[in-house]
Amino acid sequence: ICDICLKSGLLCASCKDKVDKGIVSQDFISISKILLDEAANTRQLKDVTINSVIGNQDCLFIICGTGDQHKIVGKGGSLVKKISSSLGKKVRVVEESQDPRTFLQNVIFPTPILNLNVLYTTNDEKYRVVIPRSSRLPLSLKDFIGLAKTVLNKDVEIAFR
């Protein structure tokens, strides 16, 4: 979404098309607007990249550019708390990574990933994420699998060891 649309609250044809096609969600727009408003007071937010916002009615994941996580979280978590209270949802900020293991580890931190296996099926391949049996994930299995599948464009399954 362009800055002009965020500032005015009205969408140009290009931005409206992104919303209509589902490329950009209302949550993405709301978070971008908050960051734009905060950038007026915080220089480091001016170059922050948000790649996507994925979630459900209870929880959102902001997938940001490399090195931007701490900027979006803010000092003492102040900015992410502001975003969370504004949207009425739990918010987690996760840095993008080209490496699937690193990305998935960022999503379920502090739970460790013991193994990440690539399983080859007759039609495709999928990931099997192996975590300790005693682990408590920071999100539901269903949400984790949905998020991972959306970002990685592959099926994901969880195994406990």
pLDDT of 32 > 90? The answer is yes
- The pTM of this model reads 0.86
pLDDT value of residue 133: 92
* Distance, CA of 71 to CA of 125 (rounded, Å): 35
User: Has residue 88 got a pLDDT over 90?
Assistant: yes
Task: Please state, in angstroms and rounded to a whole number, the distance separating the CA atoms of residues 145 and 159.
Answer: 12
Reduced to 3 states (helix: H, G, I; strand: E, B; else coil), residue 47 is helix
Return the structure tokens found at 127.
């990931």
Average pLDDT, the chain: 91
Task: Considering only residues 65 and 43, tell me which one the structure prediction assigns the higher pLDDT.
Answer: 65
Q: Is 118 left (phi over 0), alpha (psi -120 to 50) or beta?
A: beta
First to last CA, the chain: 43
The answer on pLDDT for 3 being more than 90 is: no
Distance from C-alpha of 43 to C-alpha of 152, rounded to nearest angstrom? 32
Please tell me the distance from the alpha carbon of residue 118 to that of residue 114, in angstroms, as a whole number: 14
